[in-house]
Structure 1
Amino acid sequence: MHRIVHLEGESIIADLRRPDFPHHWVEHATTLQLQVAGRLAGATIAIVNKLSIRAELIAGLPALQMVAVAATGTNNIDLDACRAHGIVVSNIRGYAVHTVPEHVFALLLALSRNVVAYRQAVAAGNWQRSRQFCCIDYPIRDLHGAKLAVIGSGNLGGGVIRLAEAFGMRVLRCERKGAPSVRPGYTPFDQALHEADVVSLHCPLTPETKNLLGEPELRAMRPSALLINTARGGLVDEAALARALQQGWIAGAGFDVLSVEPPSTGNVLLAPQLLALPNFLLTPHVAWASRPAMQALADQLTANLEAFNRGEPQNQVV
């Protein structure tokens, strides 16, 4: 009988159906990293979201047969170690194809139309003191006709592209940074950064993509450009982004992710002077978290467990 240990149950607000095969289920609302080894002792299936499952941990869990990741990203899992120990790793795919693109456009629309600045202006009494019917203190830009560079054109990038085209934006599908050739229909990385009015990130965090955008890339963007990141915080050099916002290298940024989450030890992007900027919007990794999306995630998670038990793993990473 499988022993299934769910380490981060509180991270999913949904009706998580238990799998249809005999099993022993243990669920923890939250788990600290230092508690993982003890709680997974004897487990054959581990359900994790963002906790790290590294080689030294895997070596001490001889019963472990499957790591079911309750998310799409697997950068927190040592895939090579899982492969070496014959451990199946499955993730969740396609569940956020509507919710993440909608969050991208929530950030993009708020920045383009200076929603935060105008709200602050009303709170400060600027509209009330206006000599005319409106208060046009900050520039407002339309999305129609603007160029959007999408870095990473999988399910989520594709969802963003569909919404962008509905808004009348011109889409640049960005080729991989440093690629020796450019695929048909794609724009070279450096060219896309230089031409884009908006850059939106949708690629996984890997050793190759860590700090994909640093100071040189941010300086290469237009001073009027916006940067949106709903993928992973480590894709952007956060210290460089702070300087870019403060010194005007770019016009603004909307982020839903940070390099370390939760940011309990602080982060340069949490500095009060940055959070006070109307052109910097930071949300706490919630782009994925609409109720329909979380239910779709939960349903797929159970389906992954059942497929593994049948000997037919699905959504398999390893």
Structure 2
Amino acid sequence: MSFTVISLGGPVAPEGEEMLKAAGITSLATKPYPSKAETVDLLSTTQADAIIVRLVERVDEEILRASPKLKLVHKHGAGTNDIDVAAAKSLGIPVLAAVGANAHSVAEHALALIFALIKDMRRQDAFVRGGGWANKSYQGHELRGRKLGLVGMGLIGRNLARMAGAIGMTVEAYDPYAPDEAFGPECGRAADLDALLASSDVVSLHCPLTEQTRNLINARTLGLMKPGALLINTARGEVVDEVALTEALRDGVIAGAGLDTFSPEPPASDNPLWQLDTVVVSPHVGGVTEEARREVSLITCANVIALLRGDEVPPRFFVRG
């Protein structure tokens, strides 16, 4: 039996494409962020058996219904906020995610943003490119001895905790859902989020987007942070109230922000954050290093092939509705 898989937002890594081809599966891909009309038309025309979700605004019920042969939806990554999981569940369509495949990559990216901010790299790069050299106004700092507060203690948070500890930072994390074994000598468990925000020199977000975490970082919570504190977001843009963050940065409520995610994505070209030299940004690439993309693709394609064939897939990859 032949199957058709549609990758929304670009193809998977070449190794994944080879896996699909070897399994006799027809693999098609759209451009990044295809329109809803384009997506529905393609799924309907091809009678797709599976969707791989990469870069797309949202996979909603209408898209899920476009192909009556649709058997599964697989996120090419870990976060599934761009998929209507409840609608998929109601239609009997399983949703899966490549949990943990890019955790090390995202943790490294968060650390890179922290370094860029603490060492004032954005302004120093512009200074030298502009012909400057002896910059007596440089006020870079060390991370050693500073406190990193993690919001979320999944695999990404655990990786970053180990990295930060090796540098000499003290680390504490808030995650009411994480098991006790997620914490240890390199990371203490915070019982209260507000207290963690108030005591940390760097706050790094690694929580999923839920109704409880939407705008978790807002005017009130930003006001709890130290004036010299840094905020890092490699989670989801909607976890941070961007308007409140912009005002907090302008007013000196906090010292800087490193952002890999935004709301919406892609962000507007006139986003006021672009005017602030205390902000370092990247286009949601924390989890798409060549190594991570390959690993995510291999896990995703292996799961897709297994489910289409009726084989067993490890429970950890299934997303609960």
What TM-score do you get using the length of structure 2 for normalisation?
Answer: 0.87
In 1: Cα distance, 2:49 partner to 2:293 partner: 24
- Of 226, 233, 242, the match for 1:229: 233
* Structure 1 letter corresponding to 2:247: R
Q: Which residue of 1 aligns with 2:142?
A: 142
In terms of fraction of residues, the more helix-rich structure is 2
Q: Which residue of 2 aligns with 1:34?
A: 37
Q: Which residue of 2 aligns with 1:301?
A: 300
Q: CA deviation at 1:206?
A: 1.4
SS for the counterpart of 2:297 is helix
Deviations 1:203-249 (A, max 9, x none): 11112111010000111100010001111111100011111111100
* Alignment coverage as a number of residue pairs: 301
SS for the counterpart of 2:15 is coil
SS for the counterpart of 1:253 is strand
Question: Structure 2: 5+ residue runs without aligned partners?
Answer: 178-182
Question: Structure 1: 5+ residue runs without aligned partners?
Answer: 178-182
Establish whether residue 97 from structure 1 lines up as the match of residue 103 from structure 2: yes
Q: Which residue of 2 aligns with 1:246?
A: 250
Q: Which residue of 1 aligns with 2:180?
A: none
Return closer, same or farther for 1:195/1:18 CA change in 2, 3 Å cut-off: same
Q: CA deviation at 1:266?
A: 4.7
- Of 117, 124, 149, the match for 1:118: 124
Q: CA deviation at 1:285?
A: 1.1
Establish whether residue 68 from structure 1 lines up as the match of residue 74 from structure 2: yes
The question of whether the paired residues in 1 share the 8 Å contact of 2:256 and 2:279 is answered with: yes
Q: Which residue of 2 aligns with 1:281?
A: 280
In 1: Cα distance, 2:297 partner to 2:67 partner: 25
Deviations 1:132-181 (A, max 9, x none): xxx3312221111101000011011111101011011111111459xxxx
Return closer, same or farther for 1:120/1:56 CA change in 2, 3 Å cut-off: closer
* Structure 2 letter corresponding to 1:7: L
In 1: Cα distance, 2:148 partner to 2:96 partner: 32
Return closer, same or farther for 1:175/1:46 CA change in 2, 3 Å cut-off: closer
In 2: Cα distance, 1:206 partner to 1:147 partner: 26
In 1: Cα distance, 2:116 partner to 2:95 partner: 38
Q: How does 1:1-318 map to 2 (within 5 A)?
A: 1=1, 2-10=3-11, 12-16=12-16, 17-19=18-20, 20-30=22-32, 31-41=34-44, 42-51=47-56, 52-127=58-133, 130=134, 135-176=135-176, 185-264=189-268, 266-270=270-274, 273-274=275-276, 277=277, 279-308=278-307, 309-314=309-314, 315-318=317-320
In 2: Cα distance, 1:40 partner to 1:289 partner: 26
Return closer, same or farther for 1:18/1:246 CA change in 2, 3 Å cut-off: same
Q: CA deviation at 1:59?
A: 3.5
Q: Which residue of 2 aligns with 1:180?
A: none
SS for the counterpart of 1:98 is helix
- Bigger shift: residues 28-37 or 74-83: 28-37
SS for the counterpart of 1:15 is helix
Q: Percent identity between the aligned chains?
A: 35
* Structure 2 letter corresponding to 1:150: L
In 1: Cα distance, 2:8 partner to 2:263 partner: 21
The question of whether the paired residues in 2 share the 8 Å contact of 1:90 and 1:313 is answered with: no
Deviations 1:102-161 (A, max 9, x none): 11111111111112222333344443xx5xxxx331222111110100001101111110
